[in-house]
Structure 1
Amino acid sequence: MPTTMNAASALDEPTVESALSITGQVRQPLSLSLDDLREYESIVAAPFDLRCFTTKRFIRNVGGYRGARLTDLIEKAGLLNESPTDFKRMVFIAAAHDGYAVTFSWHELFNTPIGENVLVAYECDGRPLAVEEGAPILFSGSDRHSAPRHVKRLARIVARLLAP
């Protein structure tokens, strides 16, 4: 099962054994391996063409990803809310090992259909993804353009509360 992290290591890079960490404004920081991700309910995304957002150049065809919903992972970590409505000002930063980062808002993930299709993938076309292939991969299956929020080698999800 997923392991918890102490506060001192909450912002550290995931270890070799872990695939990614979930930290920030959460009750229980998590460090998750690819095997841990397989313990969550999985969803399968439809195959798609990965295209560069700016040039529209075809990069490659991607078969169906299988993975855990990002919302399930966030719910497991739990959100810290000093005020009952703090969650409405939460954003989530998904960062790769190479520094590439994308964002999601709480409303987007938990209050629209988009959240149902944001997954942290560990398989593609029915076969396990290796670290060399980019595992774990964050993918937002409801976006109009797939490339901007296609994050290979996802290292961490950080929950942040925006100031009012």
Structure 2
Amino acid sequence: MEGAVKKPIKVSIKDLATYPEVYIDSMPITNHLRQWRHTLLNVKCVSLKSILDKVIIDAPSPKDLSRYYLEFIASDNYTIVFSWNEVFNSPTGKHIFLLTEKDARKINEQSDRISMIVSTDFATGRRYLKGLKYIIIKKAD
């Protein structure tokens, strides 16, 4: 994580193994029309919030946090944006996960490496990001 933070942190695949895992039996992936595309089976994942809780945003006051947003950028430059409030001040934040295993394959055996998903989205494919490379925290103008 980099950007508007007091100290950037780097989380590797090896680091993810140190966080508590959540197990999800199956997760359907749907497109923007909510049409089924495929299903992820035997998903093990880490709550993104458990990682972000270690990040200190460089904000002058807590009141300013509502002006911050997080960009999640994949290796192919696909980008997903969340507001600070969406991650830290709503139920959505509790359902953003980094996948450590899916379809009985560990993260280091997968071509898309670190993937991110929001398990409570209606159209899950919209925020199913494969190959997460960076998380950048920025302040809106």
Using the size of structure 1 for normalisation, the TM-score is 0.77
For structure 2, which runs of at least 5 residues remain unmatched after alignment?
A: none
Q: Which has the higher strand share?
A: 2
Detail structure 1 runs of 4+ shifted over 6 Å in the superposition.
none
Does residue 1:92 correspond to 2:70, yes or no?
yes
Shift in Å, 1:159: 0.6
For structure 1, which runs of at least 5 residues remain unmatched after alignment?
A: 1-21
Deviates more, 1:102-111 or 1:75-84: 75-84
What RMSD over aligned residues (CA atoms) do the two structures have, in Å?
1.9
Does residue 1:147 correspond to 2:131, yes or no?
no
**Cα separation, 1, equivalents of 2:30 and 2:63:** 38
Amino acid of the residue matched to residue 32 of structure 1?
Answer: V
**Cα separation, 1, equivalents of 2:81 and 2:56:** 18
- Which residue does 1:25 correspond to in 2? 4
Does residue 1:114 correspond to 2:73, yes or no?
no
Indicate the percent of aligned positions where both proteins have the same amino acid: 23
Question: C-alpha deviations, 1:131-153, integer Å up to 9, x for none?
Answer: 64312101111111100000000
Q: How many residues are aligned here?
A: 141
**Cα separation, 2, equivalents of 1:112 and 1:55:** 23
**Cα separation, 1, equivalents of 2:123 and 2:24:** 14
| Pairs within 5 Å for 1:1-164 | 22-54=1-33, 56=35, 58-125=36-103, 127-130=105-108, 132-163=110-141
Amino acid of the residue matched to residue 91 of structure 2?
Answer: P
